[in-house]
Structures are given as structure tokens and as C-alpha cells.
Structure 1
Amino acid sequence: MQELLWTALEILETASCLNDVKVGTKEGDVYSFGIIASEIATRDIPFAYERCYVSTCTLIDLIVNRDNPLLSNDLKIWQSLEKDMDIVRPYIHDDYLTGTMTVKLKFKKMLNDVWANDPLARMTFQRIATVLDNLFPVPEELMDNLMHMLESYSKNLERIVLERLMRLKQEKTKVENIVSQMLPKTVIEELKYGNKAEPEHFECVTVYYSDIAGFTTIAKNIQPMQVVDLLNDLYILFDSILAKYDVYKVETIGDAYVVSSGVLILNGNLHAGEIATTSLDMMSAVMMIETPQLINLKLQLRLGINTGPVVAGVVGLTMPRYTLFREAIQIDSTIGSS
């Protein structure tokens, strides 16, 4: 059935399959040439985009008799895809064509004349050759013109592919940046190539743990969306503070915020000082934060710090988490508050 997409509509009116097309016509050959020209322009089969939405049989029915009331729903689908087409023909976006805007418009005008509904209104091959010579002047015959067009479209395709590869690379970079905020880069590299991220042992690191004093009571007295806004404001503030120190944000669990130093990148004996300075900075920041959700109430931060050996690894396959284990993270959260 799809072979009939190259067949002129006056022949399709009496043909149900390709075997029915016993004898062609000059006008029908001109129509078929227009379909082939559209293939050269789009570098794809005829109606490739449209056939994702309507079947080949429906397309042929629309080509032959788009006034059939039984095709009204299919016609609406077609019109939503090709709003500027009065007849059912392959749609060629300007991006597929080379040359100036004038050349593009004249080429599309030639196609509209070539596959006109009225066979007598179609161009002759002699006229087509003249139009192509004017649009793409080369001192050769029709086939050489077509080859020249194909070469031009190939170069244009390379440009389109390059642009899309650049956009794909940009999107890939965005995704990698987002993922790198959830997992260490060394772990991401292992997982990206299908390898298992082996746990690592760190002899001496410092871990910081904090939560909001009375958070359960606070959450009961405000709206759920206000809880989200409150935690978001708080964590954005904390994240900006971490950027100034040699620390790594391990995870957040509700109002709990866990940070470590000396993990991933060893820093000698500096981990304790880095965490201590970070915690002081966070305590000062919490005192200054404005909380419109809480009337006449200041947030109080409870925090604990511990130093010791840990094992760090990735747990889970769905939404994997990089987390720490062993004594250094067993922190009494009532050690101090601000």
C-alpha cells in the first residue's frame, strides 16, 4: 500500500494496489517526480512525519478524496500537522532546504505546481528543468541538477546534525551537573560505564549532623507547602555556605542535614577544622534567616560533630544514595544548639 504514495491521485482513484497501475501518464510521472524531490529534500520517505500520526491507508484516502465526511477526524489530525497546506502532500520545512529564502520559496512553489490536483495544471519536465537551472545553476542536465541538489542537501544535513549534536551535548552536560550534585563524580564515572561503585574506607574523617529544634511541632502548625518552602530556603542557605569550605554534603533527611570532610578527597588533619568552621558559619546564618512562615519564632539549630573512621558507599539501584557507615556518624544530636 505504501508504494502508492508516489502515485498521482487521478491514478489512485482507480487503483487499489500497485499492480492496478498498468499504464502511467506524463502528468503522473511529473507528480511522482515531485514526491521523489520531497524525499531528496527531507532525506526521508514520503510523509515520514505525518505517517507517525495517520496510517498509510488514511493518507491515500485523504489524497484522493479529502471531502469524504468519513475522513473528517483524520482530516483534522492532518490539518493540525500541516496548517498551511490546502492539499494533502508531503510537508517540507524550510530548515531542510538550502539557499536563500527566495530560492526556498521558489522551490516549494515548483513542488506545489508539480503535484497539483489537476493533471493539466502540472509543470512539464521541460519547465521543471528550466526552474531547477535557475534555482541551482549548473551547466548540465536534469539528473546533474538533482545530484547537485542532493549534494547541497547533504551539506545542509551535516549542519543540522552538528547543531543537534551540540544541543544534545549541552543537555548531557546539564544532566551530568544535576547528577553530580547527588553523587560524587568518581562514583558517577563507575556507574556510567556499568561498573559497581566499590565502598571505600576512610581512616579518619569528621562528620557534621544538624536538625531543627522542635521541627515536628513547627511542621504541625504551618501548611505543608510552607514546610517545603522553609526547608528549601534553609538548605539553599546551607548549600551556599558549604561552597566556601572543603566539605561534602552527604544527604538531607527531612530537616536533618549531614556534611562530611576528609571523604573523597583526603585533606590530612584539616577535616575537623573545616567542619568546625562550617558549623559556626551555619549557626550564625540560622540566627539571621527570616522565616515568614513562623511568626515571632526563631529557628534553633541542633548540631553534633564526630571524628573517626567511616566506610562510604552507594546503596540502592533506584535513586542510589552515597552514604557513610560506622561509628563516626553515630552522633548525639543534643550535643549543642544555637
Structure 2
Amino acid sequence: MCTEAEDALRTAASPRKRDEEGRCGCADAEDALRAERRLLWRAPELLRDPAAPARGTQKGTSTNVTLYNMLALFFVYVGTCGCADAEDALRAERRLLWRAPELLRDPAAPARGTQKGDVYSFGIILYEILGRDGPWGRTHLTNAEIIGRVRQPIGGVLFRPPLSGLAARPSVLAVLNACWSERPDRRPDLRLVRLRLKDMHAGMKTNIFDNMLAMMEKYASNLEEVVAQRTEQLVQEKRRTDDLLHRMLPRSVAEALKRGERVQAESFSCVTVYFSDIVGFTKMAATHTPMEIVDILNDLYTCLDAIISSYNVYKVETIGDAYMVVGGVGERCARHAAEVGSLALHVLQAVPGLRMRVALAEPPRIRIGEQ
């Protein structure tokens, strides 16, 4: 690319210029990948003039690739300058993840890198775009360990990002392997890389407006899925809220409050009250830890809550091992005594066979009284 074009690109897209102008609609490719945005990209061979001197960008990383208006990717750091801000050690080390192995090994390598080194860096960026999992995928290795294994392969085995599980066509995988060749002279130039990647655009139209419409349709489809997921989450949350409200208040009162109605106080001349507690609970509390007692009560109350859901009664309170239920309130019921009596018999049958998380010396027994 000519010097004038380089200067224009460097001026328009440098980080300092973007900060001054509110990033002018640009975003780092790494940020876009992290946000899972869809990318319409072109190989950076457009930034190269085959007749230009062989020199590289040196900083060919996804953090140095700008995404213009979500339409195209371009390298924006073309070389370095003396006024560049100093980078801390960790940031500088991370940038080496994209650097070609021959440049890592050669302390006298040109600061601007090489064109063949850029091909290797582009392969890492392409892998990052396809995998959406960073420049080296999911790995337990540190940046320093990765750089060390690229610089000096262990046992003569070259170390490259893993391709297993990468959802890409065989032709794309072949391009990645070619870009990562250990010998720079065997790496294709970026113009050839673009030609080999043409099948990635199969089915896409050459008109930019058609491409934009296709992307908008996919965004709309994705938006519908997101709305459906959020709606389902809202329904589940409403269900949990209703369940909690019904546990706290009689169903008739809870439904009235949900409708925004004012609940009038009522008087009930005749109701049936159920009380129960655990036989020998004091001794049980003395022989078990506090957390075990919590588990015992939780298992018992879960069982009783499931039982009373089948009866026209209302649970008023649980205090310690005491359990209080009332029949004939909330929804008036002429058979409230029979309902509570049937509930008591059901509980007496269910509790002795209840399986608890805490081992007890003897099966649990429950004492019930009605009034």
C-alpha cells in the first residue's frame, strides 16, 4: 500500500484518533468477538501492494484490527512509531501470542515484522474469529507457556492452536495450517489466502445492500429467539413469585392482590385448626448438629407442604417443629372439619415412612391436635 494511504489509514484509525473522535463508529475485533457479533470481513491483502517493499505490521493481533461499522475488518496498526505509548509487561507478552515463531526466536527480527509473519498472525486471527474462544482456544497454559512452546517445540512437535472441534470447512482448516507453516517461505501470501477462502462466502451476494439485508434478517431471527427466551424466563419468574405469594397468604387473598383489588377483612365464625409437632424433638435437637436439625425440619415440612396442597386448607405458620394449618378460612368450606381430619390421617400415614437425609435412631413420629 502506498505511503499516503498508510498515513491516511494510520491517522483515521489509530487508537489516539479514535479516542479523540469518540471511536468514530469503530470497534476492536476482539471486542466484537467477545460480544458474539456477526462479522463480514475481508482478508487484509487490501492493505498490501505486492510491489511495495516486504515489510510487516508487527502488531497483527485481533486487538489491532478495527471493525468499521460492523461491516469489514482492517489492520489499523501499520508498523510502530517512536511516540507509541509504553505497554506494561503483561500486555506486551499477550501480543506475542499472534507473533510468528521465527520472529519469536530471532532477537534481531525487524520491529515491523515481516509479510510472512503477518500471514501467520492472520491465521491466528482467523482462528479467533471462527472459534470465538481467544487466539489459542480454551487452554490451561499461560501466555508465557504458549509463547515458549511456539518458540521452542517440545520433542520437535510444532505447537499450534487446536483445530479439533472447530466448526469450519476443510478448505478453511487447510488455510489455517498453511498460514501456520513453520517455514515462512511455505506460507501463502494474503492475496492467495483470500482466494482460498472464497467458499466461505458461498451463497452471499456481492451487493453490499443485499448482504446488509441478509444480516438484518439473521439479526431479526436471533432477536425473536432472544425475546422468546426472555419471555419464558419472565413466565418462570412470575410462577415462582405466585408460588411464594400463595405460601404467604390464602389463595383468595393472593389472587385479589394480584388483580390490584383491596382486600376486605373477613370474620369466620367457625374454623378448624390443626397443630402438629415432632415427638421427641427436644432429645433429637440435643443429639444432632444445628445443620442436621435444619435438614430434618426441611424434609418434614417439604412432605407436609406437598400433602396439604391436595386439601382445601391454609398453612398459617411453622415455628420450630410446630406446624399450624387452618381449614375454613380464605375459601369458605362447610366441610372444613372433614378436610382437616383427612389431612391429619394422611400425615400420620406418610411421616413414619419419610426418607430423610439425616439418619435417625428411630423413624420420625408426629403428634397432631385439632380444634
Compute the TM-score of the two structures, normalised by the length of structure 1: 0.51
Taking the aligned partners of 2:101 and 2:283, their CA distance within structure 1 comes to: 73
1:39 aligns with 2:118: no
Change (3 A) 1:288 1:218: farther
Choose which of 284, 304, 328 in structure 2 pairs with 1:219: 284
User: What are the equivalent positions in structure 2 for 1:106-121 lying under 5 Å apart?
Assistant: 106-121=171-186
Give the Å deviation of 1:183: 5.0
User: What are the equivalent positions in structure 2 for 1:181-260 lying under 5 Å apart?
Assistant: 181-182=243-244, 184=246, 202-204=265-267, 208-212=273-277, 214-216=279-281, 219=284, 234-259=300-325
Match of 1:64 in 2: 151
Instruction: Output the aligned Cα RMSD.
Output: 5.3
Match of 2:256 in 1: none
Taking the aligned partners of 2:148 and 2:192, their CA distance within structure 1 comes to: 30
Structure 1's unaligned 5+ residue stretches are 69-84, 98-102, 188-199, 306-338
Choose which of 109, 119, 122 in structure 2 pairs with 1:30: 119
Taking the aligned partners of 1:22 and 1:298, their CA distance within structure 2 comes to: 78
> Given residue 244 of structure 1, which amino acid in structure 2 is its aligned partner?
S
Match of 2:96 in 1: 4
Structure 2's unaligned 5+ residue stretches are 1-91, 250-262, 354-359
Give the Å deviation of 1:31: 0.8
Taking the aligned partners of 1:22 and 1:220, their CA distance within structure 2 comes to: 75
The 8 Å contact of residues 247 and 262 in structure 1, kept in 2 or not, is answered as yes
Match of 1:286 in 2: 347
Tell me the percent identity: 25
Deviation per residue, 1:281-335 (Å, 9 max, x gap): 222113433725787x894532355xxxxxxxxxxxxxxxxxxxxxxxxxxxxxx
The 8 Å contact of residues 115 and 122 in structure 1, kept in 2 or not, is answered as yes
Give the Å deviation of 1:111: 1.3
> Given residue 125 of structure 2, which amino acid in structure 1 is its aligned partner?
I
Give the Å deviation of 1:34: 1.0
Match of 2:193 in 1: 128
Give the Å deviation of 1:8: 1.2
What secondary structure sits across from 2:307 in the alignment? helix
The 8 Å contact of residues 291 and 298 in structure 1, kept in 2 or not, is answered as yes
The 8 Å contact of residues 102 and 151 in structure 2, kept in 1 or not, is answered as yes
> Given residue 31 of structure 1, which amino acid in structure 2 is its aligned partner?
Y
Change (3 A) 1:29 1:284: same
Taking the aligned partners of 2:275 and 2:137, their CA distance within structure 1 comes to: 58
Taking the aligned partners of 1:14 and 1:262, their CA distance within structure 2 comes to: 88
- Paired positions, count: 252
Taking the aligned partners of 1:137 and 1:43, their CA distance within structure 2 comes to: 21
Compare relative contact order (CA 8 Å, sep 6+) and give the higher one, 1 or 2.
1
Change (3 A) 1:106 1:158: farther
Give the structure with the higher percent strand: 1
The 8 Å contact of residues 241 and 281 in structure 1, kept in 2 or not, is answered as no
Match of 2:369 in 1: 303
Name whichever of 4-13 and 251-260 sits farther off. Answer: 251-260
What secondary structure sits across from 1:89 in the alignment? coil
Compute the TM-score of the two structures, normalised by the length of structure 2: 0.48
Match of 1:89 in 2: 161
The 8 Å contact of residues 209 and 256 in structure 1, kept in 2 or not, is answered as no
